[in-house]
Chain A
Amino acid sequence: MIIASNVSKRFGKLKALDDVSVTCAKGECIALIGPNGCGKTTLIKCILGMVIPNSGFITFNGKNIAHDWQYRARIGYMPQIGRYPENMTIGQVLDMMKDIRGRSAEQPDEELVSRFELKDIMHKRMRTLSGGTRQKVSASLAFLFNPDVLILDEPTAGLDPVASEILKEKIIAEKVKGKLVLITSHILSELDDLVTQVIFMQEGKLCFHKNIASLREETGEEKLSKAIARVMMGK
């Protein structure tokens, strides 16, 4: 569904992405793992068209995204740090997004909005919100429009245990519906029951892209965190 071919991006001297090629198919739940600053977020931003690669290209459903914009209607994106217009209220942000997406025919999926109990704090301004509440708003927005692809950048960072459990249930429910889910996270133990594939990146390079079953088999470890640790030690 999403194919990146030889994508490179440099910020000044820093090579954020170095010749990365990945193929993400429908129905998979892919974990993007790697140390800090290895280019995970840059890769995600390239897919969203927020960062424009120096070379290489990305296709979405067979169409190059370079001059396309409509494909983003099919992506739900939850950023690492949700940044919203500071003096809008939660309700206004949600309404604005519904207005911009403008898909009135389809009923927006407000499950997360209600389960996170955002309804009671709709009138609060974005600048007064705590980091966790912001994350809840970001998550609700990502799932709001029933997108085919979900891109979640550190989704559970800053969420309390109850909220992150709700979010995980929601991710699993969407995965079962056959959507493509891309997750980055540092808390590997959380990913255990979610992901089907693992992409490991280091210093802007793609180290491997494997099925979780084959990864477990190769390393002989059941836990993802241990399996990854073993791979990293082996290098």
Chain B
Amino acid sequence: MKKIIKYVIIDILRNRIMLAYTLFLFLISFSIFNLEDNSTKGLLSLLNIILIIVPLVSLLFSAIYVYNSAEFLELLVSQPLKRRTIWLSLFAGLSGSMALAFFVGAGIPILVFEATATGFMMLTTGIFLSVIFVAIAMLAAVKTRDKAKGIGVSILLWLYFSIIFDGLILFVLFQFADYPLEKAMIGLTALNPIDLGRILILLKMDVSVMMGYTGAIFKDFFGTQAGLITSFTVLVIWVIIPAWFSLRKFNHKDL
């Protein structure tokens, strides 16, 4: 397994897109921290950019990479290797390098300018989001044979998680405005890793007072030890479930 991960990572690191992504994150993080005189404010601006870009790049890059390594997978499957090993190595290689790119690009500036609990929370969430969206992209890529369709599905998934989901939440909130929905909102955020990440970081920043009564409920839940553990468990589940489904599909796929 280690050998295949090695070959996947070597191949990805040779890719210029990965380098460009790291550089882009690095430049953005540095310039934002330098623009704002207060680094906490910088972190808040950075948050919004990261929550858009990290899932998008993770999804698209991984989906395209899986399609482009069809030959590599075919070659490996005809060798004395378990399909499980091949697929999990690909997953480990992809998520490892996406996480590494995030760590170098955004993590280092964060640690330099804002090495606080909030900064660490942002770092962890960013790495989690990278891995989660690699898993989702691999599921989308293994389910659809056609490359154009698979990449289209990945873009739609990103749209859903970044924009459409929030729209749906707003819709629900307005429709059921007469009911106490604050507790239900906590459950709903678990359905979207991006939202979950955003709330985890915002609550660390003490701007939750701006979010009104729902913010108070969130603070009540996510601010506690149990809430924090629950939300990280949910993030882990977001990694495991797509990865497991894609593995199951790959085990029975005809190459």
Contact = CB atoms under 8 A, between A and B. Distances in A.
B74 A85 contact: no
B76 A85 contact: no
Interface residues of A, number: 27
A71 B79 CA distance: 9
Size category of the B interface is 20 to 34
Interface string B5-40: 001000100100000000000000000000000000
B78 A77 contact: yes
Nearest to A86: B71
Of the candidates A72, A96, A97, A99, the one having the most CB atoms from chain B within 10 angstroms of its own CB is A96
Interface string A44-72: 01001111100000000000000001111
Contacts, number: 58
B80 A48 contact: no
A50 B77 contact: yes
B4 A84 contact: no
B255 A51 contact: yes
A101 interface: yes
Given A83-B74, A85-B71, A100 B255 contact: no
Interface string A136-159: 000000000000000000000000
B254 interface: yes
A135 to B, nearest CB: 15
Contacts of A69: 80-83
A49 B86 CA distance: 14
A40 B79 CA distance: 20
Contacts of B11: 85, 87-88
Contacts of A48: 77-78
B75 interface: yes
Given A85-B69, A100-B3, A52 B252 contact: yes
Nearest to A9: B254
Of the candidates B3, B4, B14, B254, the one having the most CB atoms from chain A within 10 angstroms of its own CB is B254
Nearest to B74: A83
Contacts of A79: 74, 78
A49 B78 CA distance: 7
A72 B79 contact: yes
A1 interface: no
Given A72-B78, A72-B80, A97-B79, A84 B71 contact: yes
A73 interface: yes
Interface string B43-60: 000000000000000000
A70 B72 CA distance: 19
B72 A52 contact: no
Contacts of A50: 74, 77-78, 254-255
Contacts of B81: 69, 72, 100
Contacts of B80: 69-73, 101
A96 B81 CA distance: 13
A77 B75 CA distance: 10
Contacts of B83: 69
A165 B70 CA distance: 32
Contacts of A49: 77-78
Contacts of B75: 83-85
Contacts of B82: 69
Interface string B69-99: 1111011111111110000000000000000
10 contacts: A45-B254, A50-B77, A50-B255, A71-B80, A72-B79, A73-B80, A79-B78, A100-B81, A101-B79, A102-B3
Interface of B: 3-4, 7, 11, 14, 69-72, 74-83, 252, 254-255
Interface of A: 11, 45, 48-52, 69-73, 75, 77, 79, 83-88, 96-97, 99-102
